[in-house]
Amino acid sequence: MDDNTLRQWLIECFGPIQGEMAFRQIDDLPDMIKDQLMSQDPSKLPKPDEVRAMMQAFTAGGLNSPADMQRTVAEGPINVKLAKSLALQRAGGEGSQSSVSAETAEAARRAMSEASLWLDTACELDPPSGEPQVLTRTGWVEGTIDAWAKFAAPVAESMNNALASVIADRLGDAFGGEITGVFAGPVPIPIPEGMNSPAQMMKLLGNTSFAMQLGQAAGALSREVHGGFDQGVALLSNPAGALIAQNVEEYAASLDMPVGEVMSFLALREMAHARLFASVPWLMPRFEALIGKYARGVDIDLDAMEEQLREASAMDPESISGAVNLTKVGIADTPEQRAAKESLETMLALVEGWVDCVTWRAGISHLPHLDQLREMMRRERATGGPAERTFESLLGLELRPRRMREATALWERIGATEGSEARDAKWGHPDLLPVLPADDAAGTAGAAGAIDAAPSGAASADGSEAAATPASGADALSAGAGDGMTVDWDAELSRLLDAESGDDDADDGAAPADGTPQD
């Protein structure tokens, strides 16, 4: 890349005055970094509007001055302001609605109000105080980013300390003991006194890099979620819950189902979660403790981190993103982490199983396609969407129920034998919660994943039948398409034909495997 190309690109990014100033600053960079910058392929430079957006995010993130940098490192392992700024940019980007129309908002509020009335007949837990919200994607980011940052903070702390250790102990000599600049694109930001040691500087870079990934992941996730409890935990400060209107409408369109029915189904799930978390004061603290226990136990492979740093194209937040990615530098779970993860998965399964149970009972007489929607939701909760999986890579932990079907069947059996009041009373204390049957398969996660990935009524990994919904064989077969599963179509077709040929001999009073009553 020659000087004229770089000058023109800087002018397009920052305007004629600031662009020229930035170009003149290039001469003041260390030779190693300047040569690295000039050797870049011009076609691979970021687009000017992307650079402007990034600089705006850095400004919103409080990285305007050397004093801001020192304060950012002192405040914690994640620059939450920067993460929020980037998340809002992504959430409010192309295709996102900046507000909710009055008609859509009224439909969503009506759906949540009706769902609450339906739940009165299906569970004994009281609704929370306050009014549920109808949110845009940016509204969801505003309401949840602090919770995500809280969950991710222990992991980010481990990452920042490991980065500082690698730089100080292994790579310090590569910088002559001092770093003279950090970059937002190619624009140098001065390093304040006391922060120009490589180890201290890497804490700032780790802080910033983790925040950038967190913000991008949260912004992407805002385009997938339907409500405030989609991850199975309470993230919004409003205990009454919320629906993300645009995502609900797009989800209904993707399923080719009536928007009103899909909205009512999602409202039922949201209101059921809201009742549970509002009525069980120990539930969210238990989740926070388990997530914290797991995250604090994260161990970093310093050799892998050193390799990622050596492969970085520059010492800037984007270039070192691989060094703070747990999928690349995390060490396998310790026994303590595996225990915390197993407890967390069990709690998630019990929560999602109870919600699935009461949602079916509350909605069966109101929603014609409830069984298909219920099955689709089970599959989505088991596999997660692309953004959800990206987000989980930052935490090193999947917030998905591995044994949701088994938990649903368990809650159904308790309700059938002891009644709904006794069923819901088991949330009164952690020691009263029912125990999921032991998983005898080779691995809990693998076996449970097989159960949740199996078509409705298919055999699970341990030979037992996975909990079936009342959906027809055709519905179950079609539900398997397009959700990321590998389907044995010959076996599925044979099963469907066998089921149809046996319809005349079937016992009309037979209940499905999960204990769901039949009409």
**pLDDT over threshold 60, residue 181:** no
> Between 334 and 105, where is the model more confident?
105
pLDDT of 440 reads: 46
Q: Give the mean model confidence (pLDDT) for residues 127-140.
A: 95
> Which of these three, 390, 405, 420, is where a domain ends?
405
Task: Provide the residue range defining the domain that includes 397.
Answer: 52-172+197-299+334-405
* Pairing, β 182-184 against β 133-135: unpaired
76 and 25 within one domain: no
For 155, counting Cβ atoms within 10 Å of its Cβ (0-12 exposed, 13-18 middle, 19+ buried), the class is: buried
Same domain assignment for residues 35 and 91: no
Same domain, 41 and 63: no
Residue 367 has pLDDT above 70, yes or no: yes
Residue 412, in any domain of the structure:
no
Geometric angle at alpha carbon 392, from 391 and 397, rounded to 5°: 160
Phi-psi region of 95 (alpha: psi -120 to 50; beta: other; left: phi over 0): left
Query: At which of 352, 371, 405 does a domain end?
Result: 405
**pLDDT over 50 at 97, yes or no:** yes
pTM above 0.85, yes or no: no
**Same domain membership, residue 294 and residue 353:** yes
Q: Tell me what pLDDT residue 169 has.
A: 64
- How many distinct structural domains can be found in the chain? 2
Most confident of 73-87, 200-214, 342-356, 381-395: 342-356
Question: 211 and 166 in one domain?
Answer: yes
3-state secondary structure of 454: coil
Which residue in this structure is represented by tokens 């928007």? Answer: 259
Confidence label for 50 from pLDDT (cuts 50, 70 and 90): low
Residues 12 and 72 in one domain: no
Residues 249 and 378 in one domain: yes
Q: What is the pLDDT averaged over residues 483-489? A: 38
- Which of 79-88, 99-108, 462-471 reaches the highest mean pLDDT? 99-108
Q: Which residues of 73-92 are buried (b: 16+ CB within 10 A; e: fewer)?
A: beeebbbbbbbbbbbbbbbb
Domain boundary residue, one of 405, 437, 455: 405
Together in a domain, 21 and 81: no
Confidence of residue 487 (pLDDT cuts 50, 70, 90): very low
Do residue 8 and residue 140 come from a single domain? Answer: no
Q: What percent of the chain has pLDDT over 90?
A: 36
Mean pLDDT of 441-457: 34
Average pLDDT over residues 275-287: 96
Say whether both 16 and 90 belong to one domain: no
Q: Indicate the range of 106-115, 257-266, 450-459 predicted with least confidence.
A: 450-459
Q: Within a domain: residue 474?
A: no
Whether 213 maps to a domain, the answer reads yes
Per-residue pLDDT for 297 more than 70? yes
Residue with tokens 């591995």: 402
Question: Cβ contacts of residue 1 below 8 Å, gap of 6+?
Answer: 38, 39, 40, 41, 42
Please state the rounded mean pLDDT for residues 86-98.
92
Buried b / exposed e over 429-463, threshold 16 CB at 10 Å, is eeeeeeebeebebeebbebbbbbbbbbbbbebbbe
Of residues 485 and 61, more confidently modeled: 61
Model pLDDT for residues 204-240, shown as the tens digit of each residue: 777 777 888 888 889 999 999 999 999 889 999 899 9
Can you spell out the DSSP letters for 402-425? TTHHHHHHHHHHHHHHH-HHHHHH
* Residue for token pair 């201290």: 200
Q: Is residue 237 part of a domain?
A: yes
pLDDT mean across residues, the chain: 75
Compute CA distances 323 → 19, 169, 181, 296, 493, whole Å. 31, 16, 19, 18, 47
